[in-house]
Amino acid sequence: MVAELNLIAVNLATVALESWLYGIFCVIFGSSTYLLIRRGRELSQGSGNPSLHATRSLWRTPMFMASCLIAMSVTAHWILTVYRLFDAFINYMGGAEPLLVYADLSMKSEVAKTAFLVVTVLTSDAMIIYRLYIVWSYNKAIIVFPILTWLALVACGIALCWQFAHYTLGENVFNSAAGHWITSDCVFSFVTNLYCSVLIAWRVWRTTVSAPAYGGPNIMGALAIIIESAAIQSVWNLFFFITYQVKSNLQFTTIDMWVPICGISLTLINLRVSLGWAHKGHVSGSGFGSSAGPHRSAHARTFETTNQSYAMRSLAVHVTQVVDDDVPRFSAEKDEHRRMSKGSDMSV
């Protein structure tokens, strides 16, 4: 039975799998950051602004700041995962009782891991809401519901950390008060992700259908929907919820892997932005969706600037004009023939 998986084996698998995902996250985060900085400099050269000013503007964008925050929280969570491995097999009682380390959820290292998990999920969900705001042309009404669920997630996350700090060894995590907060966290995060994912996917799909790629179906369009709607994170959220509800020890692995998956989901969006592939919002001049108007916030305008295409370069266009001179030549020959005919008549 999946629910009877050995707790030590599950945590050993967690170290390997989270390390693998953390490596993927580092590669994507490093690539997207480099490309964003390079793209900002190219845009500044095209507009005549100093490169340093463009880089500073990039650092002030919400998506970039959120990526840096998630990079720190994902790194800290992975470090604590490795630390608990050494704590279980070397430090605590000389490694004689690793099961006690993994079973005691009130240990400071585990509480800190939970706190970094909450920070990562909150930041990732906040950026999904922000991305929804961008894709839906700065429509404030569309983000009211996910903001409410996000605030509920904040409260549940704080309560979860407090419950783990007061956890009693031997207490059943599935039926305890902490378990109720875990369920609440998962539900609110899933509702937020599902709401934003569906609306973003629908918006991107509408754009893809209205402007299909040349040469057949746009396979990248489907990938864009999956990435931009953060569907990866939504699916993993559901997977963790299932493993927890069936009371399987596998949930210890899925919840720890949730952290780097949140980071990968967000950095994939940033990678698309840095390559100029991301769906951009446009402020409508009228209608219910034009809540932002021309006076939208500075950070939204800055993010929109980073979403634009590469700077336009001068392009020399050579136009060759072909003139058919057969008609003028024919007219000249005709006039000459008339003069010759007239001269012949006069001589006769």
* pTM (predicted TM-score): 0.74
Asked if the model's pLDDT at residue 269 lies above 50, the reply is yes
| Tens-place pLDDT, residues 311-340 | 334 444 444 444 444 444 444 554 555 555
Buried-state track 22-32, b at ≥16 Cβ within 10 A, e below 16: beebbebbeeb
Asked if residue 306 has pLDDT above 50, the reply is no
**Mean pLDDT calculated for residue range 73-83:** 97
What does each C-alpha distance from 221 to 12, 35, 106, 229, 338 come to in angstroms?
38, 21, 46, 12, 70
Number of structural domains found in the chain: 1
CATH code of the domain covering residue 70 = 1.20.1070
Query: 163 is in which domain, residue-wise?
Result: 2-307
Is 336 within the bounds of a domain?
no
In a domain, 341, yes or no: no
> What pLDDT, in 10s, does the model give residues 84-136?
999 999 988 888 889 999 999 999 999 999 999 999 999 999 999 998 999 89
User: Percent of the chain scored above 70 by pLDDT?
Assistant: 68
**Distance separating the N- and C-terminal Cα atoms of the chain:** 123
Residue 226 lies in a domain: yes
| Position 301 in a domain | yes
Backbone angles phi, psi at 332, to 5 degrees: -65, -40
Give the pair of three-digit tokens for residue 15: 């170290």
Does some domain include residue 135?
Answer: yes
Does the residue 43 lie in any domain? yes
Q: How confident is the model at residue 81 (pLDDT cuts 50, 70, 90)?
A: very high
